[in-house]
Structure formats: C-alpha cells, structure tokens
Amino acid sequence: MATSPHPGRQAPLRVLFWGTYDLSKPRTRILINGLRENGAHVDECHVSVWETVRDKGTLTFSSLAERLLRTGAAYPSLIAHFLKARRPDVVMVAYLGQLDVLLLWPFARLRGVPVVWDQFISLYDTVVNDRGRLSARHPFARALYVWEWVACRAADCVVIDTREHAAYVARLFGLNSEKVKSVWVGAETSIFSPTAMAPREGRDTTNRPLTVLFYGQLIPLHGVDTIVRAARLLEGHPIHFVLIGSGQEGPRVQQLLSDHPLANLEWVPWVEYEHLNEHIRNADVCLGIFGKTAKAGRVIPNKVFQIVAARRPLVTRDSPAIRELFGERADGVRLIRPGDPQALADALLSFANDRASLSASADLRNDITPTAIGRQLLAVLRRVACLDEVSLKARARRRAPG
C-alpha cells in the first residue's frame, strides 16, 4: 500500500463494517461515526436483523431461530459484496457478530484482510454467568461457549469495552492478552449535552424533593432491587425516585412493590432513547448500576457515559472497571458497595442535605465523545492493519537497502 505523500501524515485508514450488526445500539453508531470523525474512510456492508429486539436476552427459542434464519439468508449478498468491494485495510465485525465473524473468516483470509471483532459482550458470559438463564453444564451453554471460543480465534483482534473486561475475556476463552483490546463505550454527546440538559432557570432547589433517576433494562447486572430497597429506606425523606425500564427483573420489582407499595417511587415501563435526555435534564441525581454479579464489576454501561456527558451527579457501584473512567475520585460522583441499599440511601441523603453539591459533576466529557472513542479504535485498527507508526517504521527498515 502506498504511503502518504505528506511527510508525518498518515494515509486514511480504509475500514469496512460488515455483517448484521445492530445499529440500534449506540455502541456501533459511536464506533462508525468516531472513526469518520478521525479521518478514516468507512464503508458499510450491512443487513438489518437485530434492530427491533430491545433485549436479546428475552428472545424465545422460536424468535431466535427466526432471526438466525434471516441472518443466514443475508449472507450470500453480504459475502458477494465483500468479494467485489475495494480491498479495505481492515474489516470490522460489530455487535452482534458471533456468527458474522465465522462466516467472514475464510473470505477475509482469501483476500488477505485482517478482521477485528467488536465482541462488546460475551453471549456465553451474559446468558450463563451474569443472567443465570442456563447452567454451565447445559448442552446449549456448552455449545455457546465453543461457538464463541471459535469466533474469537476467527478474528485477528477482539475488542471489548474496558481493560478489566478484556482481561476477563482473554482468560475465559484462553486468548493471548495482546489479542484482546479495550475501547470505551462512550456517549452520543450530540444528544447527551450539558447545555441541553441544564436545570430549568428559576427552579427551586431547596424546598422540593430530590429527583433521582434510573433508566435501563431490568437485568441482574443493574441491581434494580437495590434501588427499590433504598427507596424503602428513604420513605419520609424529600427524595423521589423515577425508575424507567423493563426486562428480566421486572417481575421481581413488581413483587417488591406489591409487598411494600412506595409513594416515593414512580415506575415507567419504557422511554424511547431519543427522549431520555428530557428525563436526565429533569433529574437531580442519576443512578448507574448496583448489581453484585462479576460482570457488573467489569463493565461501564451506556448510562454512566451518558450521565457523565450530561454533567449530572452520579451514584453507581464501585468496581475496577468504573475506576478506569473516574480514577480514585471525581466531582459529583459517589461510588458505593454493590448491592447495598443502605449505602445508596446514604449517598442520596448526602446530596439531599447538601444541595450545592448537585452543581458538581465529573468533567470527563471530552474523553468520551465519539471522536475520542474513534481515536481509541483507530489506534487498534491501525495496529492490526500494520499501519501504525511503529509498524510503518519497521516496514521501512525491512525495505531499506543493505
């Protein structure tokens, strides 16, 4: 490949996003837009399959089989496009890509194109370890593990969301740690903006209840029962909870509220993504995750990045992953023990009793924009394509006479 005619300037990386990836996930949109904002030439070869499924973990066997049939029907045209398209420097398989990466592998090898798979989350870890849908001894669980084990080896590089998570995936599937790289999730900062979400002018912040917001799928990782129990502890205090979401833990939350109805908690089943900013804007404090599962300690969910982008105070569980973002401390952030409703209640009381602290927030917005996330991914892709500065210098040395 020809080098850049401008000394010191890298030629634009040509990236092909290929497969049935889920564009309803902010993760994939951020990666694509972030690469473009960093000057990469990004093409897409995509067939929509998963966008209408909010929570893949709730798919029944019949609906999953239907999606897989649709996926299989899409592959002939996807593969034909890949073989006819201009050769990219690297091909990117995005979430959900467990099947995509296996089907692409022989054709990518045929054309000599390295494959990077944004695994993002492990289906085996999610279904078996985190959500407990299947026992590890179940035949389907074992088949799922083997599937992902092979898929990881079909890719030249596997991308995960945090360093802690990447190290776990490398151990889980027996991969060389250098093969698994981390790229943060980030936030679509055009939507989650501190300007758009500033508190309404003139709003009284001293004589009204503190509004606390949680939104997301009700899954074990989020520890929503901890939020409900904290609300119970705070009955009689000027603190009002807004809980937005549905999912696996919905029946458990419903049972908790049936056993002990809470006047200080409002439960909204779902809000569309584009309207979340309105709820964040009206919240004084936003909540992250509180689950005690091992996965909860390895990830930083979308909502945390979105809340940080919106410059809102945050309470979430402490973990090695979350400290990759915040370090030891950050203004307006309370890190608490997982699964501890008393610790959550105490953190919220600290905000309620010191309303001035609500104006403090972590100033990390520039680190989590699509541009910043694209810069992280671009460095990974250039290294895989042997187009990073180190690789180019090594290539030049090999080609030098004598």
* pLDDT, tens digit (0-9, with 9 covering 90-100), for 215-235: 998 999 999 999 999 999 999
| Mean of pLDDT values over 354-360 | 85
CATH topology of domain 210-365: Rossmann fold (3.40.50)
Do 15 and 75 form a contact (C-beta atoms < 8 A)?
A: no
- The span from the CA of 288 to the CA of 213, in Å, is 9
* 14-186+369-399 and 210-365 agree in CATH topology: yes
Residue 132 has pLDDT above 50, yes or no: yes
CATH topology of domain 14-186+369-399: Rossmann fold (3.40.50)
What does the domain layout of the chain look like in residue ranges?
14-186+369-399, 210-365
Residue 395 has pLDDT above 80, yes or no: no
Determine if residue 147 is left, alpha or beta; phi over 0 gives left, psi from -120 to 50 gives alpha, anything else beta. alpha
316-331 tens-digit pLDDT: 999 999 999 998 778 8
- At 202, the pLDDT band (50, 70, 90 cuts) reads very low
Do 370 and 189 form a contact (C-beta atoms < 8 A)?
A: yes
More confident call, 352 vs 73: 352
- The span from the CA of 216 to the CA of 210, in Å, is 20
Residue 54 has pLDDT above 70, yes or no: no
Mean pLDDT lowest for which of 54-68, 123-137, 302-316? Answer: 54-68
